[in-house]
Amino acid sequence: MTLMRKSNSYYPSFPSLLDRFFDGDWMDWSNFNFSSTNTSLPAVNVKENDNEYLIQVAAPGMSKDDFRIDYDNGRLTISSALKEEKKEEDEKYTRREFSYQSFQRSFTVPENLVDGEKIHAKYTDGILHLTLPKREEVKPKPVKQIKIS
């Protein structure tokens, strides 16, 4: 009787096959986008000046009616959901395609800094602009010169 040791280089063992199966980027679900339009979260810019915070959301191809903006207890939420359906019929076939695209971004807004009642938004040239005005008491005051007596 001959005993022969199998080398893993020729015959990989069961656990090593599983290890290789789950390795690699294709199992990283964060890299996948299940939208048929191949989109991801829109880019967001946040700027601050003396009077307000400005938020810009890049969302080309949308309209102002596609957005929902909520402000509740210091949380600003920007969301959108689009559903598109195309149907083409001919004598011999029917072709129907649909896609669904949605996103939601939330921001924690310091209520002691922002006047929530005066937040406003507009959509122009593919960019959603939000303005969050600062409360008067937190805006910088001009330098006061003190006279010497």
Q: Where are the domains of the chain?
A: 35-138
The pLDDT score that the predictor gives to residue 10 is 52
Does the domain made of 35-138 have the CATH classification 2.60.40.790? yes
Q: What pTM value is reported for the model?
A: 0.62
- DSSP classification of residue 106: E
User: Could you list the pLDDT tens digit for every one of the 149 residues in the chain?
Assistant: 444 445 455 555 445 444 544 444 444 444 444 444 445 688 999 999 999 999 999 988 888 999 999 999 899 999 998 877 888 888 777 777 877 788 899 999 888 999 999 999 999 999 999 999 999 998 888 899 999 99
What gap in Å lies between CA 139 and CA 113, rounded to an integer?
9
The pLDDT score that the predictor gives to residue 89 is 81
Q: Are 58 and 127 in contact (CB under 8 A)?
A: yes
What gap in Å lies between CA 40 and CA 129, rounded to an integer?
19
Question: In sequence order, what E strands does 13-119 have?
Answer: 44-48, 52-58, 67-72, 75-89, 94-108
The pLDDT score that the predictor gives to residue 35 is 41
What gap in Å lies between CA 125 and CA 60, rounded to an integer?
7
- Residue 42 sits at the vertex; the CA angle it makes with 96 and 52, to the nearest 5 degrees, is 140
The pLDDT score that the predictor gives to residue 93 is 75
The pLDDT score that the predictor gives to residue 97 is 81
The pLDDT score that the predictor gives to residue 28 is 43
